[in-house]
Amino acid sequence: MNRPLAALLCLSALWAAPVMAQHNAPKEAAPDKERGEQTAADYTAQGQAQLQARLAMQARTGKAKNLIIFIGDGMGVSTLTAGRIWQGQKAGRDGESNETAIDALPFSALVKTYSHDFQVADSAATATALVTGTKTRSGMLSVAPAALRGKCETAAGKDVPTIFEQAGSAGKALGLISTARITHATPASAYAHSVDRNWESNSELPEGVSCRDIARQLVEWPQASQLKLVLGGGRTAFTPKDQTDPEYADKKGNRTDGRDLIAEWKKRHPKGQYIWNAAQFGAIDAGSDAPVLGLFEPSHMQFEADRAGDKAGEPSLADMTALAIDKLAKSEQGYVLMVEGGRIDHAHHGGNAHRALDDTVAFDAAIAKALEKVNLDETLVLVTADHSHVFTIAGYPPRGTSIFGLASVTEDGEAVNAKDGKPYTTLGYANGPGAKVNEPRNDPSQEDTEALNYLQQATVPTSGETHGGEDVVLKAAGPQAHLFHGTIEQHSIYHIAKHILGL
């Protein structure tokens, strides 16, 4: 690890003062030190430490051999902040001054997320911008915006090369990891070219079209020889409809063409290892050259909060990241790896902040693991989101209040209600399933707002919460990471990273 970044990581322990999470318990007035809180001198020391760390920071000017791009799907600024607080509170530390691995990355930029045709974009268009350097229409994957969504006849000649395809052609090893289906929008953008993100299996294609489904494109990908590791969910898109899933007796495949793409992958990679459970994952030899295909669920992998209860077991995102780096680092030409925390987005769509933040903390743990393993003199590490969500942190909760607690509680524990006479939680959504239709909202002081399944209240009733259109953050470390600064277009990330890789 580079010395400036190591200094930032070490200083984080100093910056996180020992203010324990106090949840919603009333607080008695007492001197700062008696309450374990920071003093003016502490804040001065903190500011000086951050100043000195930045003065010591030196930009690298060489080319990068490797690229790891971490994508927190739907991880907007409010998610980063709430995730930071939850990570600290979960560990018994002061959440507000806690520092995450993401925080410690030295260079930052704001990223515009609109798509070719929408102010508020979806993951297909935003991922396409990240990996191809061009914006496209929402719902399309790695094709030019001249094509039309869902119109196979407009696809010919519209494919846009991805940084993964270009890196593979240059001899670099490739890896893809997602806690979502590996055929889902973000990971699929690396290898698939499709005018509809929903064409994950042949059964989802319109009848009579010549376009190939996304799962088939993965197995038949021209860069398949360089694709050393694929880990995620989504078995059903690879198996026929009459084939029973190995983990769930009541589930079958989704393909109507009779093809078993997992068997085809094994035939194409006779030395390859196909895995679908935790025991098999644990047995993988990271030193082997054999490619790995891991599909751990019929659909998406489990939320981090539910992973321990999975029937066959699933590796953590940090464990998958560690294995990927160990395997890909064997490549003399270097590697390009995508790691997606895909289920942050899904929990937000469900209006369930607890699971979203648990997955954010797990995503940060994967980044921390990567920073332990890589040499930042040769590896460019990027962390960003594809888009945001309409997720808010509101009210005036006292410091130390549980991030899942009530916003309207004063220092002395007195409730401060909204105009309807009820309190509200710190976390909420502008729209989503937590809203009420034609009836008064619930009183959250009478509910367990800390519960894993609790749905935060929302303003506008919708079946699923929606994306947000504001800029997202990009954090960077490694060779020429200083080029990521200011406010940039999302598709510019590709052009800057490609330049740093020397492709």
Q: Which residues are catalytic?
A: 123
CA distance 300 to 314: 11
Show the 3-state SS of 270-327. CCCEEECCHHHHHCCCCCCCCCEEEECCCCCCCCHHHHHHCCCCCCCHHHHHHHHHHH
Q: How many CB atoms lie within 10 A of CB 259?
A: 19
The first and second tokens of residue 478, run together, are 């490694």
CA distance 205 to 202: 5
CA distance 27 to 30: 9
Can you point out the beta strands (E) in 331-397? 335-341, 379-384, 388-389, 391-393
List phi, psi (to 5°) of 12.
-60, -30
The first and second tokens of residue 92, run together, are 């018994």
Q: Are residues 402 and 23 in contact, defined by beta-carbon separation less than 8 angstroms?
A: yes
CA distance 53 to 364: 21
List phi, psi (to 5°) of 461.
-75, 115
List phi, psi (to 5°) of 102.
-65, -45
Amino acid at site 101: A
Strands 107-112 and 487-489: parallel
CA distance 212 to 131: 20
List phi, psi (to 5°) of 203.
-70, -15
Show the 3-state SS of 177-239. EEEEECCCHHHHCCCCCECCCCCCCHHHCCCCCCCCCHHHHHHCCCCHHHEEEEEEECHHHHC
Strands 391-393 and 427-432: antiparallel
Contacts 24+ apart (CB under 8 A), 53-58: 53/4, 53/7, 53/8, 53/11, 54/106, 56/3, 56/4, 56/7, 57/4, 57/106, 58/4
Dihedral sign of CA atoms 123, 126, 130, 136 in order: positive
Element (H, E) at 357: helix 353-373
CA distance 314 to 312: 7
